[in-house]
Amino acid sequence: MPALTVRRAQPSVCWSMTVQAAAALATEIQSVEAELAALRTRSSRADGSAVLVAAAIQRLRDLQAVLGLARITDEPETVLIGRRVTIETDDGEQARFWLVLPADGDPDRGWIGADSPLGMALLDRRVGAQITVPAPGGAWEARVVDVG
């Protein structure tokens, strides 16, 4: 019986981002490449750097995949990676945050990852759009009130 190969599903999403976000992504890719080269130089020693090399390789692949699926645009009043977004829920509560690269979300810093349920619901929406966010406790709705 042949061995099964498990592959990551290729996302069908297009990561819409600002020119500035794409430039920052390209810079981060270069930084990870440099870090990886330095780690590989040190990895000949038995100091546990093989784990760091593997993590850097995975981060590099993830960043390159996002860049490969990027749609760089400057559409006004549109939610894009690299823009600050304000939403308002049905009960009038507002929240403001930055939409950031997939897997880079950090709500404590005001960053929502584009691959999160909220990020996916917002990406490419315009000011005034109603969104529905799937959540374990039940879907909730909001409206995009500002994009800057």
pLDDT tens digits along 98-127: 999 998 999 999 999 999 999 999 999 999
Task: Give the chain's residues under pLDDT 70.
Answer: 1-12, 43-48
Can you tell me which residue has the tokens 């709500």? 107
Q: What is the rounded distance in angstroms from the CA atom of residue 114 to the CA atom of residue 98?
A: 10
Domains of the chain: 15-72 (no CATH), 84-147 (3.10.50.30)
pLDDT digits (tens, 9 = 90+) for 90-103: 999 999 999 999 98
Query: Quick one: pLDDT at residue 3?
Result: 45
Query: Quick one: pLDDT at residue 7?
Result: 39
What secondary structure letter does DSSP report for 106?
B
> What angle separates helix 19-42 from helix 49-68, to the nearest 10 degrees?
160
What secondary structure letter does DSSP report for 50?
H
